[in-house]
Structure 1
Amino acid sequence: MLPPSPQSPATSYAPLPPLHLFSSSTKPTQLLLPPSHKPPRRFYHQIGTQTSSSPAISSSSSSSSHSHDAILLDLLRQGKTEEAYQLYSSFPHIPDSTSLSRLLSQLAYQRSPTSLSRAQSLVRRLRDARLLRRLDSNSLGLLAVAAAKSGAASYSLSIIHSMLRSGYLPHVKSWSAVISALSSTGDPVCSFDALRLVLRRIAAADPSLTADSLPDTAAFNAALNAASNLGDAELVDQLLDKMPVYEAKPDVITYNVLIKLFARAERGDLLVFVLERIIRSNLVPCITTFHSLVAAFVGLGDLRTAEKLVQSLREGRLDICHLLRAEIPSRSKEEETSSILNKLADIAGDDAPPLLPKTYSPDTRIYAGAGEDGGGGFRPDEGLLDALADVCVRAAFFRKALEIVACMEENGIAPKKTKYKRIYVEMHSRMFTSKHASPARKARRSERKRAAEAFKFWLGLPNSYYGSEWRLEPIMEDD
């Protein structure tokens, strides 16, 4: 059971203390607390409601202030956001709730660096005056989404925290966008802290007020993606088990995330069962499903299966699951299996593999021109090479990633080094600590570390290769 979150005074606007999802033993804890026996707290979706105890600005009651507020609102309704902001900036008083919320919403909607800076300034002014309740939840939610999509994940999280501290529930599209941003910008653990906090507040709230805040499939997918990036199969399993509680059904994106998880765990023998699970769930695989499968097989070094999959797609075959199953015995079995991973794959056993619901034609983003194998194979273009490198870096297949970026450079394609550097830094802390690593994987740890050093050299990060001639082959022996 998780300890109760520290309660902040209603008038405090200091950041919440960090909430840790993992214990010191790194074993995931439960996301949800048991039902609370305390009376439900009151939550409101409209922050503009004023109470008798709210601070008041004496000038706001003057007729002049009301007149200025009316002009401000009229400019906003005409879509003249720039003129409206300039007028707001000249006010000695703080405008009314309707004008402020409308102004913040329109600034957030613009999503430019200037508009977001102005939105931050507006929120800071109200926070300092302890008048944040003059903003409604829609405007704050829009700001959180805009900040998240603009790369300001930490600031977007602070907006969600401010709403929750004030007793307001953000819309699911707002808080899930923040979780998605946190998981993709290097702080997946923090994204789970945010998820846990939101779910706790939902559980404590009046059910009649939580409809717009309950997690949906997209929200769970954001959390699942973060868990997959961490390689945490237990947490993925826990999140999937919680989806029915909120009537959220897995979609194709949900299962595409599982493909990435199995690639990180080097369980290529389970990939076909994810595809089968999609079909048995009466879902239609998307082309991204096959992008992910091809990238996973290439990252695992199983080029034969990757090429066979691509060729089967070109031929318009529907029995791809059968073909992929036939490849399982030809691949070496893991010496150690994970019951959690097997559960996630939902292995069908002796059931006949299902047929694809339709045919798929590899698009030009993935395959272009004749192949290198006498015209019978495939040649990936920039889009596929970038996707392959992305998967390989995330899965710590650094030798394969180096081969891919070398191929890109040989073909005149500039690798996205900045992106790969960000991914490496994000994943570095858990690079070699997967709880589901097999003995065979652990035995390759030294070689993987040498490849990681070579990749860091290519990225320009501190590494053990400075002063040595860089090359793809290992140049360091085991200690």
Structure 2
Amino acid sequence: MTATPPPSSTTTSTLSRHQQHQHHSLNAPANLHWVSHPPFATKLFTSTSSSTTTATTNPSRVRAVTDSSASLTTITTPHRDSHDDTLLNLLRQRKTEEAWLAYTQSPHLPNPTCLSRLVCQLSYQNTPSALTRAQSIIQRLRHERQLHRLDSNSLGLLAVAAAKSGDTLYANSILKSMLRSGYLPHVKAWSAVVSRLAASGDDGPKEAVKLFSSVTRTIKRFTEPTMVMNSRPDTAAYNAVLNACANLGWTEKFLQLFEEMPENKCEPDILTYNIMIKLCARIERKDLFVFVLERILEKGIPVCMTTLQSLVASYIGFNDLETAEKIVQAMREGRQDICKLLRDSNSEEFPNENENEVFEKLLPNMKHPTDYEPPLLPKVFLPNTRMYTTLMKGYMKAGRIKDTVRMLEAMRNQEDSSSHPDHVSYTTVVSALVNVGAMEKARQVLSEMSKAGVQANRVTYNILLKGYCQQLQINNARETIKEMIDSGIEPDAVSYNTMIDGCILIDDCAGALVFFNEMRSKGIAPTKISYTTLMKAFSVSGQPKLAHEVFDEMQKDPRVKVDLVAWNMLIEAYARLGMLDPANEIVEKMKKKGVYPDVATYGSLANCIALAKKPGDALLLWNEIKERCGLITTDETRVSKSGPHNVPILKPDEGLLDTLADICVRAAFFKKALEIVAFMEELGIAPNKTKYTRIYVEMHSRMFTSKHASRARQDRRIERKRAAEAFKFWLGLPNSYYGSEWRLEGAEDDEYAI
């Protein structure tokens, strides 16, 4: 069957730098014609503009190029190679596999039309192998300085496909490269990447805000609207970046972007306000939930079940199960006065005034008088499966396992099929039982799930895997992996990460490595957790060099970001063996990368110092910790605080300070020990006086008892003895301070002469 050609269309807008050499020109190929578009590509990257804008005379500005034609035809050249004809025909017939083979066998680089279409179709397949092939084309073009052969359609679609596959770093790098090189991506392409970044971990939300700002900043350079009409942010794009701000708790930035929306003819919709609920929850402003709901009703925006479900989930996040239950019960009773219910729940709330200025602009209805009558919902909303499941998760979070199971039974008995349990409901009960180690009961729920005709998914099995590994039942975990595969569910990175961690729990380092290699052999990209978990395996087994090799491999993997957890795991591997020099070297490398040590880093170093028996290093470490805590200020910290990268303030925990104090007491550094225990008391941490007393009695009770020491030696010991006496006073041991006040500094030396 011959594919029906789609309607004529033009390629999306492409930018080129006027001052660039012709070799680096990035103008999109003209007159592209698709006999059979990938459906997603057609929808995503088709432009309706039909004007061509010439370059500006100012060489410092960029120009937009929009191709147009009434009937698009294939690019033809007098010297066209037969390989290109073959490749193009295969692409038109959607024979992507054969087209890829033709590309690899071509004696020369195909023309721009073939390359762009091949990248588009590979991206549209959205499989690991297809994306790897598309990325190899990009890599080859970059190496040969021929990246300008690709149009913005292909690059944008590849960015979207990479983001969907979870490789947000690569997707972000493509769009950044496009902007730097002069391409302006379609809004549906760049907003999709912003959305994925906003929902990812690490610095994803921050990168989402940066990407949004980069695109909109580029758009503002153009005074002619038609030049950038396909790239302007729409409501979906704003929602994506607002979600990033909500995840970060950035209220000021949220307000700025929210107020920008009308400038781009974008109106907030129900999703915008659902995200605002998330922002309120993120900054712990439970009192604002009701104002968001009332604002939605005042603006006439149709309320949806997702809004009410978000409210219930948010109250559960605050451990306010009572209000969550009230909302669900009111919905069961067919009540529409949810706003009044929420206002009554706010009666004892004390809002944070620091955030009010921002939210008074976002929610003008906050200023309504106290006698204001809350609006009613436009219709009755009955709880559905998702609502009940959300409440069930609240019971699980609160440790109310019986209520979680009862909720499942109640959902089964509902007359309305829209309230019957689904795979998420069953999985929630499985998770609740796994959390308390009831693996047999969790298995029974899985069987009941199957009998009810509800298919278990990968998440369900991964939860079971985690439970078996936590119970050290690795054989059962292996059987569960086989059961997954037999059910047609392939294990993912989470499955393998869980198995690797399970092997660590039973000291099976070799088994952990087997699972890691099996994961890669199946084409599953290791995640950050995969690498750090394997590093943990080698660290626990006393093999720091192997942990270092995994770390180096992680650094080379462009799909993951080496974060503080990975650095700490590597430091811990050396610290466990008391290898202080390599541990310190790694810390210095980490600092040069702009990653600052945290409590875990310093804790590992302190333990390493104790094992290495190098108490002098403990004094250096304590000085650095004092700087990070703001107890002392050095020239270095002044520079760092005034510079662009502020060193985060450190708040030590009991383990770190106790280890340092222990080292100092054993080494008879009593003055430093007193500094540390005094700081512990300031932080509300009770020092272990019993332990320090035992160490002092066992190691130092006979200090300064020699009667034959020279006067010079006695003078040198005066300061140490003063500190020792002060420390004994703190411990409550017999000392020269009993019955009188003492101070460590400023006392006369002759008071301590022997």
TM-score of the aligned structures, taking structure 1 as reference length: 0.69
1:189 aligns with 2:210: no
Q: 1:265 aligns with which of 269, 283, 304?
A: 283
SS at match of 1:200: helix
Equivalences for residues 170-319 of structure 1 within 5 A: 170-186=185-201, 187-205=204-222, 206-319=224-337
2:455 match: none
2:99 match: 84
Structure label with greater radius of gyration: 2
Q: CA deviation at 1:347?
A: 2.8
Contact 2:162 2:168 in 1 (8 A): yes
Q: CA deviation at 1:248?
A: 1.1
Between the aligned partners of 2:289 and 2:403, the Cα distance in structure 1 is 26
1:364 match: 385
Q: CA deviation at 1:129?
A: 2.1
1:321 aligns with 2:377: no
1:338-381 Cα offsets, whole Å, 9 max, x none, are 22134333335134222212222222234269994998998898
Between the aligned partners of 1:407 and 1:75, the Cα distance in structure 2 is 57
2:375 match: 354
Q: CA deviation at 1:170?
A: 0.3
Contact 1:8 1:165 in 2 (8 A): no
1:120-154 Cα offsets, whole Å, 9 max, x none, are 11112222222222212111111111011111111
Between the aligned partners of 1:384 and 1:254, the Cα distance in structure 2 is 27
2:625 match: none
1:136-177 Cα offsets, whole Å, 9 max, x none, are 211111111101111111111121122212212100111111
Q: CA deviation at 1:287?
A: 1.7
2:133 match: 118
Aligned residue pair count? 379
The structure-2 alpha-carbon separation of the partners of 1:209 and 1:99, relative to structure 1 and needing over 3 Å to count, comes to same
The structure-2 alpha-carbon separation of the partners of 1:234 and 1:423, relative to structure 1 and needing over 3 Å to count, comes to farther
Residue type at the aligned position of 2:122: L
Q: CA deviation at 1:75?
A: 0.7
2:147 match: 132
1:42 match: 63
Between the aligned partners of 2:528 and 2:208, the Cα distance in structure 1 is 16
Between the aligned partners of 1:405 and 1:68, the Cα distance in structure 2 is 59
Residue type at the aligned position of 2:165: S
SS at match of 2:174: helix
Contact 2:18 2:61 in 1 (8 A): no
Between the aligned partners of 1:407 and 1:173, the Cα distance in structure 2 is 45
The structure-2 alpha-carbon separation of the partners of 1:112 and 1:147, relative to structure 1 and needing over 3 Å to count, comes to same
Instruction: Specify every segment of 5 or more residues in structure 1 that has no aligned partner in the other structure, as ranges.
Output: 1-6, 14-36, 48-59, 388-401, 430-448, 450-462, 466-476
Between the aligned partners of 2:125 and 2:19, the Cα distance in structure 1 is 34
Between the aligned partners of 2:427 and 2:253, the Cα distance in structure 1 is 28
1:22 match: none
Equivalences for residues 346-425 of structure 1 within 5 A: 346-348=364-366, 349-350=368-369, 351-367=372-388, 372=403, 383=424, 406=435, 412=442, 414=463
Higher RCO structure, 1 or 2 (CA under 8 Å, sep 6+) = 1
Contact 1:277 1:345 in 2 (8 A): yes
SS at match of 1:367: helix
The structure-2 alpha-carbon separation of the partners of 1:8 and 1:45, relative to structure 1 and needing over 3 Å to count, comes to closer
The structure-2 alpha-carbon separation of the partners of 1:382 and 1:298, relative to structure 1 and needing over 3 Å to count, comes to farther
Residue type at the aligned position of 1:363: N
Between the aligned partners of 1:373 and 1:404, the Cα distance in structure 2 is 9
Identity score, percent: 44
The structure-2 alpha-carbon separation of the partners of 1:415 and 1:262, relative to structure 1 and needing over 3 Å to count, comes to farther
Contact 2:18 2:60 in 1 (8 A): no
SS at match of 1:42: strand
Instruction: Specify every segment of 5 or more residues in structure 2 that has no aligned partner in the other structure, as ranges.
Output: 1-16, 25-57, 69-75, 393-401, 412-420, 443-459, 467-493, 499-526, 533-560, 565-598, 600-652, 656-682, 686-754
SS at match of 2:383: coil
Residue type at the aligned position of 1:261: L
Contact 2:112 2:150 in 1 (8 A): yes
1:338 aligns with 2:355: yes
SS at match of 1:248: coil
Q: CA deviation at 1:247?
A: 0.8
Contact 2:251 2:279 in 1 (8 A): yes
Between the aligned partners of 1:374 and 1:151, the Cα distance in structure 2 is 34
Contact 1:76 1:102 in 2 (8 A): yes
1:158 match: 173
Contact 1:382 1:408 in 2 (8 A): no
Between the aligned partners of 1:192 and 1:253, the Cα distance in structure 2 is 18
Between the aligned partners of 1:404 and 1:319, the Cα distance in structure 2 is 36
The structure-2 alpha-carbon separation of the partners of 1:322 and 1:404, relative to structure 1 and needing over 3 Å to count, comes to farther
Contact 1:108 1:143 in 2 (8 A): yes
The structure-2 alpha-carbon separation of the partners of 1:9 and 1:291, relative to structure 1 and needing over 3 Å to count, comes to farther
Q: CA deviation at 1:203?
A: 0.7
Between the aligned partners of 1:139 and 1:164, the Cα distance in structure 2 is 14
Q: CA deviation at 1:423?
A: 12
Contact 1:169 1:213 in 2 (8 A): yes
Q: CA deviation at 1:62?
A: 7.7
The structure-2 alpha-carbon separation of the partners of 1:211 and 1:374, relative to structure 1 and needing over 3 Å to count, comes to closer
Q: Which moved more, 1:315-324 or 1:195-204?
A: 315-324
Residue type at the aligned position of 1:41: V
Equivalences for residues 5-84 of structure 1 within 5 A: 10=20, 41-44=62-65, 63=79, 65-84=80-99
The structure-2 alpha-carbon separation of the partners of 1:375 and 1:119, relative to structure 1 and needing over 3 Å to count, comes to closer
Between the aligned partners of 1:321 and 1:129, the Cα distance in structure 2 is 62
1:472 match: none
Between the aligned partners of 2:437 and 2:284, the Cα distance in structure 1 is 24
Contact 1:45 1:136 in 2 (8 A): no
Contact 2:18 2:63 in 1 (8 A): no
Contact 2:309 2:386 in 1 (8 A): no
SS at match of 1:365: helix
1:460 match: none
